[in-house]
């Protein structure tokens, strides 16, 4: 069981391998946290400190997830800001951005305020993403300026794609004026139709309606062009297809305010894994073919995809334990993230650990304009300490979310979070 306690006045993380994703350097050393702030990084001698032996462990910046669903307000039976925070700490995340598809949706300055106030009491930093259009209906702009003042960090209609290209252009123009990133769930709704999994050999075999890769490809392409047209910042969420990777790669050569994320589940699974109609693998965008997975890995390597985000989406057992057509879309992902991405990217694909850590720390922080240099003295301590080699089986007992809809249960993962420091709390996992 994870233990969560207030940090001691002085706490020394000793003999770890410090990985600094800003300097892109790794070295043996210690990190001293005093009163919840970074007091020293390097070789530290100090008395009267609680000492935590970090030999064999990596000490780095706290992870930052640009894409989570904490379900508050409205579906507190699935997750709350509080329970979501615990799941985040267990996964090494100290900072998350919550999507606005709650009930009611977060589409006004008042509702942003609600999240902002509630988040203050939580042991991690939570930043609300505001809806881009009222009621997430894709028609009228929300009061983005007022929402920004109250703490909105970006704008998105989340799972509901903004289908009308004219509206998307206005959202980008208006959000761009406020210097806030715009995130659009990139799927052409008409092409997606009623697809519940990737369209391909597997959907044909299983008799399930398919969602073609082109549904994502054409929408990403449109959004990229509109971003260039408007000069706005566009963040492409959960890239799942080879064509989308190609479009992002091409546009980044031309226009710089583009960022993109990939989820652990799109890196880990392929549509072949759906052979038993496992509803925990029903997700939007769908788990794709192996060639798409390979393209995501390649795009991550090349830097076209710069962030890892979980799209942590809790659902009740009742909503998942049903037939495939009616089961809800989405899976939780915070607790299993590190073990999944280290396994695939570092251990299987031999990508260097620094690149993966950057995609979990400095890169997402840059997208949102958060402080990035977390090892600077006197910064509020956000630390993640993990064993990069430990092979372990992910079980229900590793889940701290209120929901347990994870296809990673029973899977062997590599890399395990041991300690997370956030907002003067120490989580021992």
Number of residues that bind other proteins (CB under 8 A): 21
**152, HSE (Cβ side, Cα atoms, 13 Å):** 31
Is 206 a binding residue for other proteins by CB under 8 A? The answer is: yes
Is 38 a binding residue for other proteins by CB under 8 A? The answer is: no
Is 323 a binding residue for other proteins by CB under 8 A? The answer is: yes
For residue 245, the minimal CB distance to other proteins (Å) is 21
Is 318 a binding residue for other proteins by CB under 8 A? The answer is: yes
Nearer CB in complex with other proteins: 27/275 = 275
Near other proteins in 163-202, by CB under 8 A = 199-201
Q: 394-418: b or e for each residue (b if 16 or more CB lie within 10 Å)?
A: beeebbbbbbbbbbbbebebbbbbb
Nearer CB in complex with other proteins: 166/207 = 207
For residue 279, the minimal CB distance to other proteins (Å) is 9
For residue 43, the minimal CB distance to other proteins (Å) is 57
Of 212, 264, 314, 388, the one binding other proteins (CB under 8 A) is 212
Nearer CB in complex with other proteins: 45/276 = 276
Of 123, 161, 210, 330, the one binding other proteins (CB under 8 A) is 210
405-117-77 Cα angle (round to 5) = 25
**206, HSE (Cβ side, Cα atoms, 13 Å):** 23
Q: Which stretch binds other proteins (CB under 8 A): 31-39, 203-211, 362-370, 385-393?
A: 203-211
Is 204 a binding residue for other proteins by CB under 8 A? The answer is: yes
The dihedral built from the CA positions of residue 403, 409, 413 and 416, taken in this order, carries a sign that is positive
For residue 209, the minimal CB distance to other proteins (Å) is 8
Beta pairing, strands 10-20 & 3-6: unpaired
In a 3-state reduction of DSSP, which class is residue 283?
Answer: coil
Of 24, 117, 325, 348, the one binding other proteins (CB under 8 A) is 325
For residue 194, the minimal CB distance to other proteins (Å) is 10
Selected catalytic residue, list 158, 292, 311, 387:
311
188 is catalytic: no
Backbone angles phi, psi at 394, to 5 degrees: -75, 125
Near other proteins in 219-278, by CB under 8 A = 276-277
Q: Please state, in angstroms and rounded to a whole number, the distance separating the CA atoms of residues 376 and 357.
A: 18
Q: Please state, in angstroms and rounded to a whole number, the distance separating the CA atoms of residues 410 and 405.
A: 12
Nearest C-alpha neighbor of 401 from the set 4, 81, 77, 83:
83
For residue 269, the minimal CB distance to other proteins (Å) is 17
Is 322 a binding residue for other proteins by CB under 8 A? The answer is: yes
Nearer CB in complex with other proteins: 172/208 = 208
Is 217 a binding residue for other proteins by CB under 8 A? The answer is: no
Is 326 a binding residue for other proteins by CB under 8 A? The answer is: yes
What are the Cα distances from residue 283, in Å, to 77, 240, 310? 20, 11, 12
Which token pair is 350? Answer: 């031999």
For residue 24, the minimal CB distance to other proteins (Å) is 43
Count of CB atoms within 10 A of residue 290's CB?
11
Query: Which segments of 215-302 are extended strands (E)?
Result: 234-236, 258-262
Contact positions vs other proteins (CB under 8 A): 199-201, 203-210, 212, 276-277, 318, 321-326
What residues are labeled active site?
311
């Amino acid at each position: 069981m994870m233990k969560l306690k207030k940090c001691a006045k002085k706490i020394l993380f000793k003999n770890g391998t410090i990985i600094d994703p800003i300097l892109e350097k790794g070295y043996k050393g210690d990190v001293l946290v005093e009163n919840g702030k970074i007091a020293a990084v390097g070789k530290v001698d100090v008395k009267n400190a609680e000492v935590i032996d970090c030999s064999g462990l990596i000490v780095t910046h706290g992870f930052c997830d640009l894409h989570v669903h904490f379900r508050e307000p409205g579906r507190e039976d699935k997750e709350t800001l509080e329970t979501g925070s615990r799941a985040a700490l267990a996964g090494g995340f100290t900072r998350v951005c919550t999507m606005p598809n709650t009930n009611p949706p977060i589409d006004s300055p008042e509702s942003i305020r609600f999240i902002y106030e509630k988040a203050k009491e939580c042991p991690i930093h939570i930043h609300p993403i505001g809806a881009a259009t009222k009621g997430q209906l894709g028609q009228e702009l929300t009061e983005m300026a007022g929402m920004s003042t109250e703490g909105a960090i970006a704008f998105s209609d989340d799972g509901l794609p903004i289908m009308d290209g004219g509206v998307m252009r206005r959202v980008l123009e208006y959000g761009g004026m406020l210097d806030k990133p715009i995130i659009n769930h990139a799927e052409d709704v008409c092409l997606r139709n009623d697809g519940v999994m990737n369209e391909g050999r597997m959907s044909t075999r299983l008799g399930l309606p398919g969602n073609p890769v082109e549904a994502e490809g054409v929408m990403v392409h449109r959004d990229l062009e509109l971003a260039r047209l408007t000069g706005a910042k566009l963040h492409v969420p959960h890239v799942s297809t080879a064509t989308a990777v190609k479009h992002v790669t091409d546009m980044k050569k031309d226009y710089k305010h583009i960022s993109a994320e990939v989820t652990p589940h799109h890196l880990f699974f392929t549509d072949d894994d759906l052979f038993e109609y496992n509803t925990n693998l029903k997700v939007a965008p769908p788990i794709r073919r192996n060639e798409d997975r390979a393209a995501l890995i390649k795009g991550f390597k090349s830097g076209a995809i710069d962030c890892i985000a979980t799209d942590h989406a809790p659902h009740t057992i009742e909503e998942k334990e049903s037939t495939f057509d009616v089961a809800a879309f989405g899976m939780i992902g915070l607790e299993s993230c590190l073990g999944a991405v280290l396994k695939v990217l570092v251990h299987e694909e031999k990508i260097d650990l620094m690149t993966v850590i950057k995609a979990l720390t400095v890169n997402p922080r840059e997208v949102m304009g958060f402080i990035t240099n977390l090892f600077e003295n006197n910064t509020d301590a956000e630390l993640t300490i993990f064993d990069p080699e430990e092979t372990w089986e992910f079980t229900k007992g590793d889940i701290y979310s209120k929901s347990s809809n994870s296809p990673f249960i029973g899977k062997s993962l590599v890399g395990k979070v041991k300690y997370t420091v956030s907002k003067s709390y120490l989580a021992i996992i």
